[in-house]
Structures are given as C-alpha cells and as structure tokens.
Structure 1
C-alpha cells in the first residue's frame, strides 16, 4: 500500500457525478474532430455528446477508451517473469499446430519444423525461421554451438564437420524447391518451394554410438537457432524503399500496418525514424544509433504485449490520432504545447515524491550480441544508494545494446522517482492533449509551474471528460552521458564442457598504409600454443556490418581485413579455438577499435599562406602542394577579444576548400567580428589525413 505525501488540490470542481467506469470505444476521437473544427472544439464536442455516447461500443487499438500511453503506464506491465521466456524462442517445435513467427532487425531465433524425414543415413529437416522474406542468416548455431559452413552448406566446424549440412532460404521471389530434398524424397516436387518463407534445410548424419555426444551434444539432431537478419520489406518513407532495418520507428510502423491492420501517418513515421537514427556514444566510446528494435513474435502474440515492448525498448509514447491512425513518438524531449490550469480539472490529485518502498535499483534483461545473443542482465542503475536495496528487474528483449538498456533504466528510475505524480479528471481540454507527450501544469494558488509527461490518457463514458495520469519531468531526464552514467556491464563467462581453453592475448589493430584508395586494417595477435588456432570477429555500426567471425590456421599471427569503408570505426576481438571446436573467451573484453583510412599518406605543405582584411571579411589565399595526395585545404580559426599568443587547442575548423594540386586557391571568411583572429591552414588527402599546418596568421578588427 502506497502512502500519499501530497495534497488533494482540487476535488470534483463540478457537482455533477461522473462515471468511473469506461466501456470500449472506437473512432470516437475521429468522430469528435469531424463534428467540430480545431478552432471551435468545445462547442462541437458538446454538440456531439449524443453521438459520442452512441459510439462507446467497441474498442480502439489501445484498448477500451485509452487514447495514449507511455513508459510510466507500461512500466507496471513489464515483469521479470515472462510468460514467453527468451530461451524458448531458441528451440524447434513440431506440434500438430505451431504458430509461425515474424521478426525485425537482427535476432537469434529457432522456429517450427516445416519438414522431417530420414533417408540415406541422414535425418533431413526444415526449420522455418520467419513467415516472410528476410535478409538472411548472420551466424549459424547448432545446439547452442556456433558453427561455420562452406559454399555448399556443409558444416566445417571441428567435431561436427562432415556430419551436417545447412542450406538457408530467405523467401525471395523465384525461390524454388530444395534440390537436395527433391533428390532424397521423390514425393517432394517443385511445388514444395516454401514460397515467401525463410528458414533452412538441414541434414544430420548418423554417427556411431561412441561419437554421439561429441557430434550431437543434446543426444539428438541439432536444435537450429541461428542469428538472422529478419524482415527485409520494411518501408522507409524517407526514401520510399522497402529494406531490412532495425530502426525502431520503421519496424513499429510495419507492425501496426501489416499485423495490427491500422494506419500510420508516414510523414510522422519519417520524423521518428530520423530520431531513431541519431548517433549516441556508448561507454566504450563507440557510436551507435539511438533506438533499434530486434525481436521475433509468433502469430499468437498479443498486441498489448508487443506495444508494451516497443514502448519499453524505445521510451515511446503511443496514442490514437484524431484521424483514427496510430501515432507514436520515440524517446526524446519535445517542448510542450499545452498548458493545464486549475480550472481545467474536475478532480486533481498530486503526490510528492516516490512511494514508500519504491525501487532503488533498476536492471533490464536484454539480448546481448557479445554474449552469443543470449538474454543478459544489464548493469545496475542505482537511483538511491542510501535506500534499502529494492530492485526492479524487467525483460525487454527487443533491446540488443547495453547502452540502450542503460538509457531505459535511467528513464524508468526517473519516472518512478519523479518529483510529482499527477492523476485526475480533466475537461474538454483533453482533446488538445491527444498526441501531446508533455504538458505544463500551472497552479498559481499553490505556486506550481511544473512540466509533466503523460503516462495514460483515457476518455470517459460521457465523451467530454478524460482521466489522466502523468509524472513530472525535465528535459535533462532525456540526456545521457555514457562515460559517467552507463553502468559497468556484467562479465560474460565462457562455460566449457571440458578442460578450459587458454585465452588469447596481445591483440591490436593498425591501419594498413597502401595509399590506393582501398581501406584496410591489419589485425595482429600474439603467438599461442601449437594446439590452438585463432578466430577473429569484427563489426562496424558505421558501415552497417554485424559481427562476422573468421577462422585462421595454426601459427598465423595476423590478418589483413580489406574492402573496408573509409572513415568507419571497426571493432574486433580474438579468441583461441581447439581442433575439437572448443573456444576460449573473446579478447579483449572491450573490443579493439580502429578507424579505417583509405588514403594514409598525408600531402605536402601549403605554400604562400596569407590572410588580409577585405572590409569586415578576411581573405585567405595559398598555393596547393605539387602532390598527388592533395585533395583539399582545411582552415582553422581561433578568436580572442584581444591580441594574444594563440593556442591551436582553441581553434575550430571553419571551412574545407576542395582544390587541385599545384593551384593557387582562396577562401573568404565572412565577418568574423571584432577581436583578434588567428588562422591556420593544412592540406588534407581524400581521407582527411593532414599534412604540415601553416600559420598562425592574425588579423585584428576593432
């Protein structure tokens, strides 16, 4: 039982008793807007009261009369005890009736059996990963063991090599029946093409009893649960193309349109997609896109559960638009447009501070790619280190980034520990709150001027009043400094079924100086025991490359990764592997980061660098070096109030002038204003690598 610390500021400002129960309603908002213009809402709504009452008969997409919900509302729905444990999605099912699954982003998923049969000492089976076309597999797993296959699909990983085969299919147009199955089973014809479905055909070879547990650790055919890039037909309204993406806004819009059967405003979706693609810095110092979504669902998944996961994964606010479409906003601060005053409330309760016994620590169980795409607890967000330890542990499986999980943990904590919790019933101004995530509450009598975030907005049975729940909020609640706020992630231990494998050491990466426009990185590691060989995995968020693993022969101590994207940041780790396929831990725990550079040779120095006043502007001129590596000139400026000894650390790059070698070039800095201005210039190549810097030269304007 919570203890209220606040005051009842206003109670039933009208003497008319209001209904406390609301039956379902569909399309009421749209009908109300149709009955009244935006500039004369109240008269129109009152005039449509009879219509509204008659409309309260069915359910809108949020359920009952709920018009909007956000993180504060769904927080209570997220429990640490899931009715659909993540581990169950990594299994293969063969019930008489099995629900198909769909997926977004990159997930590790099992699937249902589409076929099984035995022929020529082999168990043939087909696992259906998704009921739609996909971008295809990223990493293959058999019975929770990562494996590699060759061009024909034969498993090449030791212990399993020669005993298995995997042939993925992705549901693309023109997909035909599998040739291996047709050859093994005459009953299978060209019609068995699994059109518009994704999955894999496998066979597992019979082994002698003494090798059974070595080849088949489960004592049966392998469970197939690969890492897979799912739906590749997600519409991106920004460029009008259908593609694979893990952009949360685009995935949610697809789910709404194709599975909920509702509409969205594609201009709004485009705006939210841009917000999802904003780059943020994580605790490792790398950048990543702000909000991604990576999840699979079976066809019996409830919309309420899916919506709650979306809200939790992206700090979303979901609402029914006046036109009946589904609207949503991903997590970010938006200046409020509506102000509520005391007269707008029929009843109002404000509670100060968190309830007695509120959680003091917050964690999320998410899916961690660095932990073999297993469910993994995040680091703990400690909201109050002086309070008794009361932990809130929830599962948000669409998150596959520790940084994203940490940002949601912070928001969950701030919502529960908000300065004010508001609930009440408001008048017709509730219509103005539809689609608004934030509002300002002003109550002069009590000296209140507070910003609130809506947790729930629900229209009542009378069609003219609204129940509202909200928590106070500030713009800074949506800021996150990973360097100081992202908790340390738990260590991912590699559990071995036999003797442990020594961890690799001394791993490094360096840009390869080849200067031909092809970006390459040399990855090097220390020599290991002769019985071991090494695996290296690399990824790049900048280049859109998921983790890819490469295996090398014994004695090899370096590898040149070529065909990289110029200027993209690449992360890499190394581990040891035995001839039996057992592996050590990935090293180092925090991946080595190297930025690829296509052109590594800096150009020569500029000559004749000069600056002169041109009225209130500054005219700069120079001659480019006679150097084939020259691509452009980068200009820096440091400004001070008066003449001084300049420090290049104070300078900012103000312009890049693209030019040709051996040519005199110029740039005009428009109106830098009064003060002492110091200029530097440097020649750069096509990758931005700079040659010697010229300057500083100064001009003083009074």
Structure 2
C-alpha cells in the first residue's frame, strides 16, 4: 500500500472531534422539546450534516434551520455606518466620467445624470451621450443643465430664457429593446468612426446632448460654468404588481411604474438585473398572500395634519453596480421599516413596519438555551436626540433632515446632546421620514437589546418578526414582553439559533399628525435666471364636492406681493402610460396666512391620478421654474363603504348559489370572488362584479368543481374605495 493511500485514509482531527462528540451534540440540539418541525425544511442540507457525523434523521432535522436568515434595516448607529450604502441623492446630479463606468439602476422617481458613454468635440459642437439606467424606465420628466432647469422644444432644443439661450439640444431614450440611435449625433460622428447608428443602447435608458459654442464675446455668458452637466428627473423601473391580474411576471411589457416599497423589494429580489436574481416562483409565489398584504399596507393612506393623506411607505432611489445588491436591500428596508427572512425552501418572508399579532410567536423557557441581554446602554452609545435624514426633492433632490426627536431630561443628565442620525435616503416625503424616525426613536428609548440562543424547538420564532417571551425562569425581567427579531442565524455551537433582539415598544404604531408631524424642512430660496423663486408645495389634497372634486394646494408664502401663484395639473396617465396636457389656473389675489398660501382649483377629472405643479408669475408676465411634481388621486368619495351583509352559499348538484346584500350606505359595486380556504380575497378568482345601490341584493351561480371552496363578497364606492373587510362563506361541493 502506498504512503499516499495510507495518508488519505487517516481521519482528520475534525473527523475525530465530531465522531467523539456526536451523541453529545445530538442530545444538546434535540433535548427538551416535542415540537413539530416544519417539513418544508426537512430535506434541505442533509448532506452537510451527515458529513459531520450525524445520522440521516438528525441531519435532516438540523438542516431545517440552516437556511434561516432574518434581517431588518440598518438606519442608525455604527452598524449602519459600516454597512454598504447606495450613492447619496446629491451624487446623482453629476454625470460620472470613467473609462469603464459602473451601470446605474433605480426605482421610483429620482434625479440622475448617469455616466458618460460619449464625450466628443467636433468643430463648434460638443456631443455627449449619458447612460442613466441599465434597464427600461417609464419616463423623463424634467431637465437641468448644472442647477438651471430647462424646458425643451419639439426637436429637443432648449427654450430661451436661460444663459444657454438655444445653444443646447437634448434627447432621451427610455431603454426599449431594440432602441433607436440619436440621428443628430450619429450623422455628425459616424463618418469619423466614433459613433454610428449601431450605438443604440438596447435596454439602456440614456440621454443625448449637443452643445454649440458661441463667439468669444458671448461664450462666457452662454456657458458660465463650462460645459453643461445634464441631469434629469426620471420615473425609473417598471415593476410587477402581483395584486393586478392583468400584469404577467413573465411579460415586463405589462408592468407598471410604482413607488410601493413592497413591489420594489420584490422586483429587486427577483427581476432586477443588478439585484439578487432569485426565482420568483420560489421566492414570492409560495408566500404571495403575505407579499400582497404588505403591498396593501404600503399603500394605506395616512392622514396629514393639514388635511388630505399620503401613502404609508413609498420608496425612491438609485444605485450602481459598484455596490452589492444588499446595499439597496437595506435602503428599501429602511424606507418601510421592513423585515425580510429567507426560508429554507427559498421563499422570502417580508413584513413592513406595522405590528400585527398574527406575526407574533412565543418562546418559552424550554426553547431558550442561553441569553445575553443588555438592559441599558453605555454612555458612549447613549442617544438623546435622533435626526431623521431623507432625500428632499424641493431642494434639488439633496439630503435634508426633518424635525428631530429628543429626550431633554436625558440631555440634562448627560450634560450634552448625544445625537445620532437615522438614514432614510430612499425616502422623499418628509412626513414619512418623521414616521420612520419615531419608530426607531421609540425602539432606542427601550434600551433593551441582546441575543437569545434558541433551540430548534423555537424555529417558528426564528421565522417571525415579533416574539413574545414567556420565560419567567430564563428571562424574568422580560417575561411577558414582546421583542423584535432583528436578525437570526444558525449557530451549531450555541444550540440551534442565535437571535438578535430589541424590545418592542407597545405604542409604536400610534401617530397623531397634529402633534407629531412637525414642520417641513427649511428650503433655501431658489430662483430662476430672472430672479423668480421656485414654489415649495407643502400639501396637495383632493376635496370632494358632491359628485365632483377639486384640488387644494398649499405652498410656502414667498412674502412677495408682486408674484402671482399659478397651479397646473394633468392626468398622470391619459392612455398607454402617456400623461395628458397641462391645465393651468392662476390665483391673482392670494391671501397668505400663517406663512402659507392656500389655493383651490376648479373641478378636476374625478377618480384619476393627477400630476400637480406650482409656479410664480412675475409682474412682467415671466414664469419662474415649476415646482417638484406632486401626485394626488382626485377621489370623489373617500369614505369606505360598509361590509356586505346576509351572504349565503348553497350547493345543488355541483352548482353553488351565492347571494349577498349591499350595506345601507354609499356602496356602488359588489365584487364576488372564489378561492380555496387558504387563499385571501386579493388572491382569489373574480367571478362577478355588479353595479348596485344601497340595500340591493345580488344572487349568482357558480360551478367550482369538487372540493371545499370559500366565497367572498367585497364592496366599493363610486371612487373604487373598498370596504374594510369582506363577507365570506365556505361550502363543500
């Protein structure tokens, strides 16, 4: 026998160790519990543990938790500083010039400049092409040269009224496949072999620019800052909305632009070319009901102090391929106070920041091996002031901060302010940043953090965001308390799992707009070339009036009586995703009050999503720059109808008769759906929608086939606002 064969047959030190301690480890992992384990994890990672010397049965059970990983957003503290982050919002305004630039991508609405693909001067002209996204985008809304906003004529030439006069021509492409080239650029450069019609940029959103120099006397006036740096406001990625049956995950042409944080997270995890590239049939579909509910929570309307409302969680941001996809994942989580967990079968559990008891599990003394809990913080880790940071479009898409949260008695004890920043850079609504900041502030105030070593019997809690501790022996000070599972990982040497926890504040979802909303961030005056300031919109609200609706717009008072405010609006989608024409209305005699100007438009299109902007007109009739675009749905009836009543189902030879009655209120539609008992109303199959009046009864028949079926009936008002819940009935055929 050769020495080589003999050497390879000798057990390694690790083999000796695992063989010697096999039974000790098996006893440590499995003792003290008769819990049933989720069979979805059982066949996974069996080979890993059998190589360590465990039996196949034990290895299968241990493998159940190996893929478990739960994480929350990192927005505060040293961990947030060390975590990878996307570029700052203000970094997107300057185009990058690199030999091989990183590709850009984005979601929601952002101001971006991308990276130069072409920079070539020929004679009196400068030609430039900038790639702003490595995927198709919805639209480009506004244009800036440096910080001067410009508007375009039909051929792309900028309108006069700025220093640049008409010496700049701008083009854009949305990233179709195939895309078209820029004829004005290719015709000038193709003969030199620099840029031809083959430079289309299929699937790449881009900008083109041609600058024409002036004579020596005017050159400095035309281009006071040197060659123009072009940036744009763009509505970026189209995402699959899994709540819409008309959208197909396999057909991106059916997708829509969105700011919904849950939809954006699903896109980034599964469909983003620069994201995690998971298989949506494994990551999303097995838990589709959960994702649909979280998307609905993001779209919930939160009342504002001045009237009206806004979506609970919106997300807008961009990143480059220089960063790992985890950087954007953390930014999305921070925008919605999110929590994400990968299950052993590859399914992603996702929960946004709104406590619901159905996501609460329990850990007992029998489930806990050990713990390390801190019931206070060191002085150097103390925080008595929290400053939320976010991206503020009103100051040119740059980082700003909201009113801070502070503990004055704690500052007096400490003798100074100990401030920390909460980074919500993919948030663009200052009120949303305040709501997120309050949630993090309340968690910090609990001052209870640590780790719990959890046996395999507590595996359900590893996959839950909130955990109730019933452990009077192991954790008497936290017995009965609810903690948040901030991060969970498999740890063989610790007896199963290690769970990072933070005590959950009991009133984390409480929000009083009149008290806690605060004030909008300070906005430095911004003027156009003629010295006309740009309005800052504080509030946009749809106001019903009978069967019609008008728009209330509140802007900050410029304290200049010579300026006439003007409001314009348009349909955000007049068909095929194209916005409608702008409609203007002037307000020549505004009455400022409390530092604001409050205006109400004429009647606007009902039950439509509108883009709204504001501007000022000077005494000479010149317009200033238009404000950042605000969106509002012109809802005629914002009051949700009542839940349908008297719902019944009856089976006769395989034909089910379904009946329900509209409530005695503003109900205008009854929606009937059928599904399995494990489905939700959102995921169920639509079987009928009927126009009704108050107290009207609708009866229909359905042949679902053999099985146990659940029927629902929901209500909507004339504006499509749904009832809070649905009537339901289950029947076996």
Q: Is 1:344 the equivalent of 2:402?
A: no
Indicate the larger mover: 564-573 or 204-213. 564-573
> Hey, what's the Cα distance between the residues in 1 that align with 2:27 and 2:169?
67
Q: Choose the corresponding residue for 1:371, options 369, 382, 395.
A: 395
- Does the CA contact (< 8 Å) of 2:71 and 2:486 recur in 1? yes
**2:155 aligned residue (128, 152, 156):** 152
Give CA deviations for 1:522-581 in whole Å, capped at 9, x if unaligned: 999999999988764558999999999989999999998786334878865332469999
Q: How does 1:300-315 map to 2 (within 5 A)?
A: 300-315=322-337
Structure 1 window deviating more from structure 2 (353-362 vs 466-475): it is: 353-362
Query: SS of the residue aligned with 2:486?
Result: strand
Partner SS, residue 405 of structure 1? helix
Instruction: Check conservation: 1:74, 1:311, Cα contact below 8 A.
Output: no
What runs of 5+ residues in structure 1 fail to find an aligned partner? 1-14, 20-27, 38-44, 600-616, 618-634, 636-652, 660-664, 671-684, 689-702
Deviation at 1:667, TM superposition (A): 6.5
**Superposition pairs of residues 76-95 of structure 1, within 5 angstroms:** 76-79=78-81, 84-95=87-98
Query: What secondary structure sits across from 2:81 in the alignment?
Result: coil
- Is 1:202 matched with 2:226? no
Which residue of structure 1 lines up, in the alignment, with residue 708 of structure 2?
A: none
Structure with greater proportional helix content: 2
Cα distance between partner residues in 1 of 2:466 and 2:543: 51
Give the C-alpha shift of residue 123 in structure 1. 1.2
In the other structure, the counterpart of 1:223 is 229
- Residue equivalent to 1:692: none
Residue in 1 aligned with 2:111? 108
1:273 to partner: Cα distance: 1.4
Quote the offset at 1:146 in angstroms. 1.5
The answer for the alignment partner of 2:654 in structure 1 is: none
Q: Distance in 2 between matches of 1:382 and 1:366?
A: 18
Residue number in structure 2 paired with 1:34: 43
- Taking a change above 3 Å as real, the CA distance of residues 542 and 182 of structure 1, as seen in their structure-2 partners, is closer
Alignment pair present for 1:179 and 2:183 = yes
Q: Call closer, same or farther: CA 1:240–1:49 in 2, change over 3 Å.
A: farther
Change (3 A) 1:333 1:225: same
Aligned-partner Cα distance in 2 for 1:512–1:401: 21
Deviations 1:382-413 (A, max 9, x none): 24554242111143221111111111111111
- Is 426-435 or 114-123 further displaced after alignment? 114-123
Q: Does 1:265 align with 2:284?
A: yes
Find out whether 1:460 has 2:519 as its counterpart. no
Give the 3 Å change call, closer, same or farther, for CA 555–185 of structure 1 in structure 2.
farther
2:259 to 228, 246, 264: 246
Gaps of 5+ in 2: 1-23, 29-36, 47-53, 248-254, 591-598, 638-645, 647-661, 670-691, 698-716, 721-733
Native 8 Å contact 1:362 1:392 kept in 2? yes
Alignment of 1:354-365 (within 5 A): 354-356=377-379, 358-365=382-389
Q: Structure 1 residue 324: deviation in Å?
A: 2.1
| C-alpha spacing 1:489/1:548, structure 2 compared with 1 (3 Å) | farther
Q: Cα distance, 1:341 vs. partner? A: 1.6
After superposition, what is the alpha-carbon deviation per residue over 1:188-243, rounded to whole angstroms, capped at 9, x for unaligned?
Answer: 443222111112211111123443444324222x1111110001254535435122
1:396 aligns with 2:416: no
The answer on 1:128 being equivalent to 2:131 is yes
CA distance in 1, matches of 2:540, 2:483: 48
SS across alignment from 2:315: coil
TM-score (norm 1): 0.69
Match of residue 97 from structure 1 = 100
- Residues 30 and 550 of structure 1, relative CA distance in 2, 3 Å threshold: farther
Q: CA RMSD in A?
A: 5.2
Deviation sequence 1:259-300 (CA, Å, 0-9, x none): 212242231322221221111123443312111111111112
| Residue number in structure 1 paired with 2:653 | none
Q: Distance in 1 between matches of 2:532 and 2:294?
A: 46
1:488-527 to 2 correspondence within 5 Å?
A: 488-495=519-526, 501=532
**Aligned CA distance change for structure 1 residues 404 and 518 (closer, same or farther; 3 Å):** closer
| Shift in alpha-carbon separation, 1:75–1:293, aligned structure 2, 3 A | farther
Q: 1:503 to 1:69 in 2, by over 3 A?
A: closer
Matches of 1:208 and 1:99 in 2, distance apart?
37
The partner residue of 1:407 within 416, 435, 447 is 435
Do structure 1's residue 435 and structure 2's residue 463 form an aligned pair?
yes
d(CA) in 2 for partners of 1:666 and 1:580? 51
- How far residue 148 of structure 1 moved from its aligned partner, in angstroms, is 1.0
Distance 1:411 1:528 in 2: 36
Residue aligned with 1:425, SS: strand
3-state DSSP of counterpart to 1:99: coil
CA 1:657–1:402: 2 relative to 1, 3 Å? closer
Is it true that 1:232 corresponds to 2:241 in the alignment?
no
1:567–1:244 Cα change, 3 Å: closer
Q: 3-state SS of the aligned residue for 1:312? A: helix
Moved more, 465-474 or 441-450: 441-450
Structure-1 separation of matches of 2:409 and 2:362: 35
Partner of 1:574: 615
Residue 300 (structure 2) aligns with: 278
For 1:296, the equivalent position in structure 2 comes to: 318
TM-score (normalizing by structure 2)? 0.66
Aligned length: 577
Q: The residue matched to 1:478 in structure 2 has which SS?
A: coil
Aligned to 1:226, the other structure's residue is in SS state strand
Contact 1:106 1:229 (C-alpha < 8 Å) held by counterparts: yes
Q: 1:161 & 1:499 partners in 2: Cα distance?
A: 13
SS in 2 for 1:370: helix
Task: Tell which deviates more after alignment, 187-196 or 106-115.
Answer: 187-196
The separation in 2 between residues aligned to 1:512 and 1:668, in whole angstroms, is 27
With over 3 angstroms needed to count, the CA separation of the structure-2 counterparts of 1:175 and 1:88, relative to structure 1, is same
5 Å-filtered alignment, 1:513-552, equals 536=567
| Structure 2 CA distance for partners of 1:524 and 1:669, relative to 1, 3 Å | closer
